[in-house]
Amino acid sequence: MNRSRFVYRLGALALLTTAVLAGAHAAAAAPQAFQIPSIPGVTAAKGPQQVALTLQILVLMTVLSLAPAILVMTTSFTRVVIVLSFVRSAIGAQNIPPNQVMLGLALFLTFFIMGPTFQQVNDKAIQPYLTGKADFNTALAAGEAPVARFMIKQTYKEDLNLFIKLSNTPPPATLNQLPITVLIPAFVISELKTGFIFGFIVYIPFIVIDLVVSSLLMSMGMMMLPPTVISLPAKVLVFILADGWHAIVGSLAQSYQ
């Protein structure tokens, strides 16, 4: 009997604790008056110069958000990453090297190849603008010139003529007068074309290895054995003996000379 009374008391205590906690939660969740937060420091512009400075900051932030796309489309990154992807696909190792390693190598090779161009941009545009020797528009024009010369040097003439024709603009007197909206897409498809040419050349020796291995396996009656089991180590061995990474990276760097 005492045991049953103890159980009843324990149950009543639990119910009372639950009711107290529920009441506290309901009080905490009670709706409060909605308050609109204030935004201090927002004042009207006192002159056109403040408006122009604000617009320049807005343009700069927009450019920074598009920096990855600009890096891919106006530098050697496109060709480098395409060639490295072809090398990995030709060897047959789908995940070796990993994507992080491939992209990191392509990025640092891009910085190496674009080093002289970036140095010219820094000397002629960034430093004069930071020191106050040139305004924003002058620095922007000075920074576009080295990048435009780099892209013109690596772009096929037929690609330039294609986009000049599509844009319905008269041909410029000199290549330096090409609008950037024509130059960038022409440069990109030229880089794609050159990268695929590199990839085709890289594929040839590995295709020969695959054909030789397949022929040997068929002649030995081992048709149930997948050719990749033998060809993959053979291709890796040939790539190592030929010092493939040295040759690929050296050829990519020299193609921009």
Percentage with pLDDT > 90 across the chain: 13
Inside any domain, residue 147: yes
pLDDT of 201 higher than 50? yes
Inside any domain, residue 183: yes
Average pLDDT of the chain to the nearest whole number:
77
Inside any domain, residue 37: no
The pLDDT of 182-200, averaged and rounded, is 91
Q: How buried is 153 (Cβ within 10 angstroms: 0-12 exposed, 13-18 middle, 19+ buried)?
A: exposed
pLDDT of 117 higher than 50? yes
In total, how many domains does the chain have?
A: 1
Report how far residue 256's alpha carbon sits from residue 252's, in angstroms, rounded to the nearest whole number. 7
| Per-position DSSP letters for 44-88, written without gaps between them | --SSHHHHHHHHHHHHHHHHHHTHHHHHHHHSTHHHHHHHHHHHH
Tens digits of per-residue pLDDT, 63-72?
677 777 777 8
Inside any domain, residue 223: no
Inside any domain, residue 186: yes
Residue ranges making up the domain that contains 166: 65-202+244-254
Inside any domain, residue 78: yes
Inside any domain, residue 126: yes
Inside any domain, residue 56: no
pLDDT value, residue 99: 87
pLDDT of 15 higher than 50? no
Tens digits of per-residue pLDDT, 119-128?
988 888 888 8
Q: Tokens in use for 56? A: 């320049």
- pTM value is 0.70
pLDDT of 98 higher than 90? no
Q: CB pairs under 8 A, 24+ apart, for 178-187?
A: 178/148, 178/152, 180/144, 180/148, 183/148, 183/151, 183/152, 183/155, 184/73, 184/74, 184/151, 186/155, 186/156, 186/159, 186/160, 186/162, 187/73, 187/74, 187/151, 187/154, 187/155, 187/159
